Amino acid sequence: MTSKTGAQPRKVTNTQPDPDTDTDASSANRFVYSQATPSTDAKGAGALQTMLAKEFGNEETQEAPAPQPAPSRLSQPLSPLWSRMLKTVAGLAILLTVGWMPMQRLFQVSSVEAVVNAQIVTIRAPIGGVIAEGLEGLRVGSTIPAGWDLATVANARADHNAIERASEELGAAREEQNALAARIARLAELRTGIGKRVDTFRIDRKNRVAAQIAEVDAQLTGAEAVLARAEAEFERQSSLTAKGTAAKAARENAKRDLDVAAAELDQAKARKAALGVEAEALAQSRFFGDGYDDEPRSAQRLDDIAETMASLEADKARQDARVARLEEGVAREQALFELASKATLTAPTAGQVWELFTAPGEQVTAGQPLISVLDCSKLLVTAAVTEAVYNTLSVGMPASFTFREGSNALPGKVVQLSGVSSAASNFAILPSALTKEAYRALVAVEGMQHEGSCPVGRTGRVVFGKTSS
């Protein structure tokens, strides 16, 4: 069959005829058809389908499909190059749209893995003994406030010999103190009695001196009168003697009487002066009299009592100080005995019971761990970082933490870096549990409490160098 374009015909030969068919059917496998142009491809396909149906013995000849109009130039498919370019552009747009945030995170200095952590506070037995009371209702995970009484350890075998010795020494010191106080009180009473007698003696002595002074004053008055009369008699006798009417002896007798009267007056004045000195001494609480020039015996006894009381009061002051020291010693020994015989364990911080190592009635030793408490008041984040990130970090650097399920970024700062050095081991989650990287950073994060619970163990991501909320 010759095509309109003048192309060479092609042969189609069926090389495997069906052995059950006759020779005519096998000879019909060779036929010639012409190659159709693009505008007549549909017609050629229909004619070819009809021919094949007839040649293979189809009894029911199918009609050829109706010829379809030639497709326009706009409906023709694009070339493979342009199709591939359009698909590439579309894929890049989808990749940029969907992967922008992950790509942005690749450029952040962040941790490989991070977990919320907290310190473990281990409460140990301060003394050896038996768990007498407490631990009721405590379970692993129980929330306890700060200062909560956890348990009581009682030691019935505590040594009380020291407090007994201190008490005996204190008792002896108090006895001596009381004896000194009694002696001082007795001397005080004796001093009071002697003091009254001395005061009475002083008053009597003053009254006596006053009376003697009054007596001397009277004697002075009489001596002055006698002196005046002697002077007058001496002048009269002197006048008579001068006239010759009196003997010379009378004048001499008058002169003698005058001298005696003057001497008696001088004697009275001297005695009054002596009494005045004694009166002044008595006024100044000093004694002065016949046979003594210091003090009477009662006054001297009073001085001796005062001196003895001063010595006893000094001894009592020393004893008071000793008693005070012994009382402090007894109080100290009592406190030590109470510490050694009974100890109440309280929660040092608010948190959750992490582990229980004992039970009521159990015998424990001093220093034995009893309870461990998770300190939820100071939560931290342990972050594992790569070596490259670790070398860019420093203590005090700002950071932010975000929970794995998504939340607002919580601000914080780096408080510890541990690379080849060993990290702290008193954490609920050991840093060695983060096995992806060997370099770790400890970050203190603010506002970590999550709905009133302790989120220890929750994972997240730490971004260093930013504190966005």
CATH number at residue 457: 2.40.30.170
Residues 139 and 221 in one domain: no
Residues 359 and 264 in one domain: no
Residues 361 and 242 in one domain: no
The identity of residue 252, as a single letter, is E
Tokens of 110: 């962040």
> Could you tell me if residue 243 is inside a domain?
yes
154 forms beta bridges with 130, 342
Q: Is 456 exposed, middle or buried (0-12, 13-18, 19+ CB in 10 A)?
A: buried
Residue by residue, pLDDT tens for the chain (469 residues) are 333 333 343 433 344 444 443 434 333 333 333 333 444 444 455 555 566 555 554 444 444 444 455 444 444 555 677 777 877 877 777 766 655 445 544 445 677 788 888 889 999 999 999 998 878 778 888 888 888 888 899 998 888 899 899 999 999 999 999 999 999 999 999 888 888 887 787 787 778 778 888 888 888 888 888 888 888 888 888 888 887 777 778 878 888 888 888 888 888 888 888 878 777 777 776 665 555 555 567 777 888 888 999 999 999 999 999 999 999 999 999 988 888 899 888 888 888 888 888 888 899 999 999 999 988 888 889 888 888 888 888 999 999 888 888 778 888 899 988 876 565 667 888 766 666 667 888 898 887 765 557 888 888 888 998 654 4
For tokens 């929970």, name the residue.
403
Residues 304 and 166 in one domain: yes
> Could you tell me if residue 469 is inside a domain?
no
> Could you tell me if residue 156 is inside a domain?
no
- Can you tell me the distance from the alpha carbon of 195 to that of 394, in angstroms, rounded to the nearest whole number? 87
CB atoms within 10 A of CB 434: 23
> Could you tell me if residue 293 is inside a domain?
yes
Question: What pTM was estimated for this model as a whole?
Answer: 0.48
Residues 39 and 130 in one domain: no
pLDDT of residue 98: 56
pLDDT of residue 318: 95
Residues 372 and 255 in one domain: no
CATH number at residue 296: 1.10.287
Residues 308 and 166 in one domain: yes
Residues 187 and 120 in one domain: no
> Could you tell me if residue 326 is inside a domain?
no
- Can you tell me the distance from the alpha carbon of 131 to that of 155, in angstroms, rounded to the nearest whole number? 9
HSE-CB for 277 with a 13 A CA cutoff: 9
pLDDT of residue 289: 55
- Total domains in the chain come to 3
**Run of H or E including 387:** helix 387-390
Residues 131 and 166 in one domain: no
pLDDT of residue 330: 94
| Domain encompassing residue 456 | 113-148+352-464
Residues 268 and 172 in one domain: yes
Residue that finishes a domain, picked among 314, 334, 369: 314
Residues 303 and 178 in one domain: yes
